[in-house]
Structure 1
Amino acid sequence: MFNASNLINEVLGAGSGANMQKGKDYLSKNAGGLAGGAVAGGLAGYMLGSKKGRKMAKKTVQYGGLALVAGLAFKAYKNWQGGRPPGQTTPGQTSAPATSHMQSSPPPISEIPSVPRDSAFAVEPETENSNCFGAALVSAMIAAAKADGQIDGAEQDAIFAKIDDLSLSNDEKAFLMDQLRRPLDIDSLVALAQNKEQAVELYVASLMAIEVDNPAEQGYLGMLAARLSLEPELVEHIHGSMAEAALV
């Protein structure tokens, strides 16, 4: 079986099973944040640096990676559908916003909403193979991490070594390595979204994987939003929800 839940947890640095419980125990004793160690590791921590990696790991420990992506996407989409003003974004902004364009960060939200089981935002955690949407979310994260062109051959080899240490099956490790080897292909990524809800989730996963602190990453997100046919106001809601969750 291909466990997309374990895969995304490992990528975001929270691990699974016993490691996940250790992370929760750590958080209960250290409410101020993560000091390091396995909980702050994972591919996200390696590729994004300790600050963003720890943010991802902390939230993933609390909610689980699939629930985190789905919950943030669900929240942003419902707020957009309800006509609510985007949180903490520049009024009148019409393109995919970057963190540098956003106003002062709002207070972190206490909870990320749960997604109903019958919702189109729900992601199957375990399937027969990697042809599942949970794996697509990981593909989106890796593609976004490649957007600035900074993952060269040496870094890729180091990431492969990191993958060997993850608590994943051989199929799951092979999937990660294949995604890292592949050239950046936004057309193939966009084709993985079968509906609007999944398009929002792919964008959320992509935004989670990068700091958005250079023109290449900003340009990539703008192109991705356009190719996924996401309305500018919806994109603002996504960035606003991420800011409320203290993930940008």
Structure 2
Amino acid sequence: MLDPKKLLDDLLGSQIPGTGSTVRDKAGQAAQMAKDNPLAAGALAAVLLGTGTGRQVTGAAIKLGGLAAIGGLAYKAYQNYKAGNEPAQAPASGEPELLPPPADTAFDPAQAPQGEAEFTLTLVRAMISAAKADGHVDDDERKKIADKLKLAGIGAEAEKFLLAELESPLDLDTLVAGAKTDAQKLELYTASRLTIDPDTRAERGYLDLLAGRLGLPDALVDHVEATVSAAKVPAGNAPNSPW
């Protein structure tokens, strides 16, 4: 049975079995990881979400879990926006503090009107759509991912779901419709921005289009950009990373 929360954790940065590192730590060497440790499903996430990024979500997000991390970042960005604060800055040293969203807010996963599992899958779809934005997931790349998914042992349903999403054309109407509340719209954008560092016109254009379709104010988007950027560190520089 497909476990949406586990799948989201894997995509955001699950622990690689037998190591103290996350999949994002070694994003640039994901193919070698899959070869060396074929049971490390996390290696597939790095390939799936694009290996070009040089930054990763900090360990704080891994400890919280994907759903709480996305909700926490979206909530922090929203609070700063409403308070009229300056966009968040990364700390001079160490990991930035990352907390789950308060339980009594619309950002609490348990408050999802369509159910937590369904909204989690919407976030996964948002991440995959963002990963495809620069066009790097072509037919050859999909075949490579499919081959590695078979080695990963993530489960037949998860494998089938991911491959189907990779094959599917971009459908912003359905994706945007999956966010039922203003808080979920912000979380959907936050998940998409977590997936990619928009260093190409295609990626930047996709995020701008998504923000527009979600009806997010420019100033709020700026806060998400700053909050997510502050929650990332250069790949390989995460605390306790052996690389």
Other-structure match for 2:85: 84
What SS does structure 2 have at the residue aligned with 1:183? coil
Other-structure match for 2:51: 49
- Aligned partners of 2:108 and 2:123: how far apart in 1? 12
- Aligned partners of 1:243 and 1:109: how far apart in 2? 12
Normalised by the length of structure 2, the TM-score is 0.76
User: Are residue 64 (structure 1) and residue 65 (structure 2) matched?
Assistant: yes
- Conservation of the 8 A alpha-carbon contact between 1:2 and 1:172: yes
Shift of 1:246: 1.9
Partner AA of 2:6 in structure 1 = N
Q: 1:214 to 1:151 in 2, by over 3 A?
A: same
Shift of 1:198: 0.5
Normalised by the length of structure 1, the TM-score is 0.75
* Residue correspondences, number: 216
Other-structure match for 2:9: 9
Hey, which bits of structure 1, 4+ residues long, moved more than 6 A? none
Q: 1:247 to 1:232 in 2, by over 3 A?
A: farther
Other-structure match for 2:190: 204
Other-structure match for 2:37: none
The sequence identity of aligned pairs, in percent, is: 35
Return 5+ residue gaps in structure 2 as ranges. Answer: 34-39, 235-243
Q: 1:174 to 1:151 in 2, by over 3 A?
A: same
What SS does structure 1 have at the residue aligned with 2:100? coil
Q: How does 1:193-232 map to 2 (within 5 A)?
A: 193-232=179-218
Task: Give the root-mean-square deviation of aligned CA atoms.
Answer: 3.0
Deviations 1:157-215 (A, max 9, x none): 11122323445343222221111110011121111110111011111111111121111
- Conservation of the 8 A alpha-carbon contact between 2:125 and 2:165: yes
- Conservation of the 8 A alpha-carbon contact between 1:8 and 1:66: yes
Other-structure match for 2:237: none
Q: 1:130 to 1:155 in 2, by over 3 A?
A: farther
Deviations 1:61-110 (A, max 9, x none): 3322112211111111111122212235xxxxxxxxxxxxxxxx653653
Q: 1:219 to 1:51 in 2, by over 3 A?
A: closer
Deviations 1:108-146 (A, max 9, x none): 65321122234321225xxxx997010111100110111
- Conservation of the 8 A alpha-carbon contact between 1:74 and 1:121: yes
Partner AA of 2:180 in structure 1 = Q
What SS does structure 1 have at the residue aligned with 2:109? coil
- Aligned partners of 1:138 and 1:70: how far apart in 2? 14
